[in-house]
Amino acid sequence: MKSDSHYVNTLREKEKRVGKEICFDRAFYVPDPSGGKLSTFTGEELNLTGKLPSKYGVVSIRGIFIDQKTIQVLDLHENCGWFRDMASYIALFLLSVLCVKSISRR
């Protein structure tokens, strides 16, 4: 059995996608009149159907390919991008302050 780590093989083998499950964590989502679009880490833009947010943002989804370019969303989580990013920046800043402080004490 071939490994499908992070669904790379599912994304690569477009002709074999239909019926396969796929998950994305923290992917960029843009709503449109036909449903929505998801930008993947490979640069591909996929169509989404199902219950979707009305505003753009960062989402995590689990779904099934219903054709080569369309995913039926089964589970969706809207991520609060600015909060997670800001918390990471603050933590990195505090860690760098600690490192500089420990080096300067020597």
Instruction: Give the 3-state secondary structure of residue 69.
Output: coil
Give the gyration radius of the chain's Cα atoms. Answer: 19
106 or 17: which carries more pLDDT confidence? 17
3 pLDDT higher than 70: no
In this prediction the pTM is 0.73
Decide the pairing of beta strands 45-49 and 35-39: antiparallel
* CA nearest to 13, candidates 36, 44, 39: 44
Domain coordinates in residue numbering, the chain:
5-79
* CA nearest to 51, candidates 29, 83, 19, 67: 29
Mind listing the pLDDT tens digit for each residue in 56-86? 899 999 999 999 999 999 999 998 867 777 8
Mind listing the pLDDT tens digit for each residue in 32-53? 988 999 999 889 999 999 999 8
| 29 contacts 59 by C-beta, under 8 angstroms | yes
Which CATH architecture fits 5-79? Beta Barrel (2.40)
